[in-house]
Chains A and B, each alone.
Chain A
Amino acid sequence: DAGVIQSPRHEVTEMGQEVTLRCKPISGHNSLFWYRQTMMRGLELLIYFNNNVPIDDSGMPEDRFSAKMPNASFSTLKIQPSEPRDSAVYFCASSLRTAHGLHSPLHFGNGTRLTVT
């Protein structure tokens, strides 16, 4: 089991540029979560998907942020245009939601450290 795989590990970009973060969840997991971690605000849930469908995007800070999950094994988080205040570590996590609505523990990737200058 390779775990949740995120890429890139580090991203440095200039303000105004588009940034795309990628995530491959654990095979067989049907729920996927995007979190953002900063010193000031800790871990914040941005959006989560169940069976590739976005269920709750209330944590997405602005329209500049968008996320997609075109299939069960891939998701992207896009920021366009990026701003310095978007600098943070972005984590993807996955879990298995059963038919009874119970979730297996969250498995996190190692994150993408984004720096917007």
Chain B
Amino acid sequence: TQLLEQSPQFLSIQEGENLTVYCNSSSVFSSLQWYRQEPGEGPVLLVTVVTGGEVKKLKRLTFQFGDARKDSSLHITAAQPGDTGLYLCAGGHSGNTGKLIFGQGTTLQVKP
């Protein structure tokens, strides 16, 4: 069974702090996606990384795919209360059925 483990599971920080969320697996994925989910809503895609070592930036969010394509990280600079939510990583494979394996998620709370 392929698993994606996210850490930490919960994170509560003050506005303005930096944070990093990790997503690790023993399996190789052809792509890795990060989603953000707010209460009462479905996950919304933030980014897809497909190349080992790839780094993508989305405003204050930086996503990195590990060189071996087994792990990924999400770094948020100067977190804001609007960043509060559940962050999910999801791995996919080529041959691409669209089937994704999701991590358990990291619940982030940013306090003003």
- On A, residues with C-beta under 8 Å from B are 4, 31, 33, 35, 42-45, 48, 50, 55-56, 91, 93, 95, 97, 101-103, 105-106, 108-111
Q: Are A105 and B42 in contact (CB under 8 A)?
A: no
Residue B33 interfacial (CB < 8 Å): yes
Give the A-B contact count at a CB cut-off of 8 A: 57
- Cβ-defined contact, B102 with A42, below 8 A: yes
Distance A4 CA – B56 CA, assembled complex (angstroms): 27
Give the chain B neighbours of A31 by CB distance below 8 A.
98
The residues of B with any CB-CB pair to A shorter than 8 Å are 33, 40-45, 48, 88, 90, 92, 95-105
Q: Nearest A residue to B40 by beta-carbon distance? A: A110
Given contacts A42-B103, A105-B33, contact A110 B98 (CB under 8 A): no
The answer to whether A43 touches B45, judged by C-beta atoms less than 8 angstroms apart, is no
Query: Which residue of chain A has its CB nearest to the CB of B41?
Result: A110
